[in-house]
Chain A
Amino acid sequence: MLLGLLAEGDKHGYELKRAHDRRLPRARPLAFGQVYATLGRLERDGLVAPAGQDRDAGPDRTAYTLTPAGRDALAAWLAEVEPPMPYVASTLFAKVVVALLVADTGHVRSYLVAQRRAHTDRLRELTAVKTDPSASLDDVVAADYAIAHLDADLRWLHTTLERVADWHREVHS
């Protein structure tokens, strides 16, 4: 990600953090320490290099530029296909399965009702962000991503309940 932001133009650590938080508005904000640690690693690996006049200043005063190797690494990263969901790993998934397995109906039910409400509230919040006339493309793209995942969770939740109810009907009929 940092390599991608540097491809836009040379940046100081602080500018990189700002650019990251602006481009990925719904992601967890990047800590400064993390930015400098990553830059250090990238510099060690020859993917970025200090740029400009003040190359002997402290790390916060140094602007970094992509090296040719850095450009290659960025291109390779962008070309690499992400494994589509190699594992089904989410706390929500695990919790619903375990709840159906071990909890009594009352507890499962109140958990599901509360979880569903939390999901729909968040969905509504993100939709409001996205439909705000002043929303930037970055905002909309980030909100879309989160909305699509919440939507998928909610659909899965409903399908699971229907499956369990179906199963229950067949077993008891």
Chain B
Amino acid sequence: MTELQARGVVKAYGPTPALRGITLDVAEGEIVAVTGPSGCGKSTLLHCLAGILRPDAGQVFWRGERIDTWSEAARSKLRRTEFGVLFQFGQLVPELTVAENVALPLLLAGTGRRAGRTVATAWLARLGVADLADARPGELSGGQQQRCALARTLVTEPRVIFADEPTGALDTLAGEQVLTQLVRLAREQRTSVVLVTHEPRIAGYADREVVLRDGAVDGAGLGLDLPAAAGSGLGLRATGAPAGEALANAAPAGGAPAGERPAGGAR
């Protein structure tokens, strides 16, 4: 079953196009990494899919229902109940304890305080941080905070999790641990995950990778186009300099003599 669909999604910030018509399907239980160089539109796409931003054109469907036309209130409810969002920084409320933070989405959905706490502490236990329940976010390490934020994301048992550079602020081991848990629990619950990252290593956690370039899906996945004449385009004669000199000579300083430039500029 298709959980999430984007059809020709277009989004611009003023005159700057961020997304130029993205079409993408995410199956139930599928983990999709959205990668690409910075500025390629990957975070904007995540915000459009999660109903945080409204596309300028195109459609977004969740379980076959078009959601981009919904009111802000309806999309907000959808985000609270069926979607979970995890950002680079956990964004825990500093005044609340960890357990209160984790229970927050449940309280917003009308669950009682006591029941909320029970569910929250159960999730904290599943993530191996039960002992942090009564701590304040300020007392925790980055990795602990992100685990607690993950518990808060999971507590409503969302159908889709949107994670935007969820390990960006963590050291390697803490990042790996958070991701391992996210992926394990998503698989157990058959939750779909849209994982935005610029790191190939992190994309390795996904079932599939979608590479964006300049606001469009890049089928080749290289993240950019090769210049028209890559080969002799380095300004070297094909039979001339040894391979090792290629990169040194590729430095822009001075440019190549006119005669050695490639003829065509067709992209």
Q: A residues engaging B (CB < 8 A)? A: 94, 97-105, 107-109, 112-113, 116-117, 119-120, 123-124, 126-127, 130-131, 133, 147-148, 150-151, 154-155, 158, 160-172
| Cα(A154)–Cα(B255), bound, Å | 27
Smallest Cβ-Cβ distance to A151: which chain B residue: B201
- Interface: B30 (CB within 8 A): no
- Interface: B73 (CB within 8 A): no
Number of interface residues of B (CB under 8 A): 43
Which A residues touch B207, using CB under 8 A?
124
Asked whether B238 lies within 8 Å of A108 as measured between CB atoms, the reply is no
CB distance from A1 to the nearest CB of B (A): 25
What are 27 A-B contacts defined by CB distance under 8 Å?
A: A97-B247, A100-B231, A102-B238, A104-B230, A105-B229, A105-B230, A108-B231, A112-B222, A116-B221, A119-B200, A120-B203, A120-B204, A123-B200, A127-B205, A131-B183, A131-B184, A133-B184, A147-B201, A147-B204, A148-B201, A151-B199, A162-B223, A162-B224, A164-B226, A164-B230, A166-B252, A171-B255
Which B residues touch A148, using CB under 8 A?
201
Partner of A101, one of B221, B226, B236, B261: B236
Asked whether A124 lies within 8 Å of B206 as measured between CB atoms, the reply is yes
Interfacial residues of chain B within 181-208, with CB under 8 A of chain A in the complex = 183-184, 199-201, 203-207
| Cα(A148)–Cα(B228), bound, Å | 32
Interfacial residues of chain B within 228-267, with CB under 8 A of chain A in the complex = 228-231, 233-236, 238-239, 241, 243-244, 246-247, 250-252, 255-256, 261, 265
Which A residues touch B76, using CB under 8 A?
none
Given contacts A100-B231, A108-B230, 15 further A-B contacts (CB under 8 A): A97-B247, A100-B230, A100-B234, A101-B243, A107-B231, A109-B220, A120-B200, A131-B180, A133-B184, A147-B201, A158-B222, A161-B223, A162-B223, A163-B247, A168-B233
| Known contacts A109-B226, A113-B220: A164-B184 contact under CB 8 Å | no
Chain A CB count within 10 A is highest, among B220, B222, B231, B238, for B231
Asked whether B220 lies within 8 Å of A171 as measured between CB atoms, the reply is no
User: Do most interface residues of chain A lie in helix, strand or loop, or is the interface mixed?
Assistant: helix
- Interface: B209 (CB within 8 A): yes
Q: B residues engaging A (CB < 8 A)? A: 37, 180, 183-184, 199-201, 203-207, 209, 220-231, 233-236, 238-239, 241, 243-244, 246-247, 250-252, 255-256, 261, 265
| Cα(A80)–Cα(B176), bound, Å | 30
Asked whether B265 lies within 8 Å of A123 as measured between CB atoms, the reply is no
Which A residues touch B199, using CB under 8 A?
151
Which B residues touch A151, using CB under 8 A?
199-201, 204
Chain A CB count within 10 A is highest, among B201, B207, B225, B255, for B201
Would you list the 3 A-B pairs with minimal beta carbon distance, nearest first? A168-B227, A123-B204, A127-B204
Partner of A105, one of B224, B226, B251, B255: B226
| Cα(A105)–Cα(B220), bound, Å | 14
| Cα(A130)–Cα(B209), bound, Å | 19
CB distance from B123 to the nearest CB of A (A): 18
Partner of A100, one of B183, B228, B246: B246
| Known contacts A101-B238, A108-B231: A158-B183 contact under CB 8 Å | no
Which B residues touch A103, using CB under 8 A?
230-231
Smallest Cβ-Cβ distance to B206: which chain A residue: A124
Which A residues touch B204, using CB under 8 A?
120, 123-124, 126-127, 147, 151
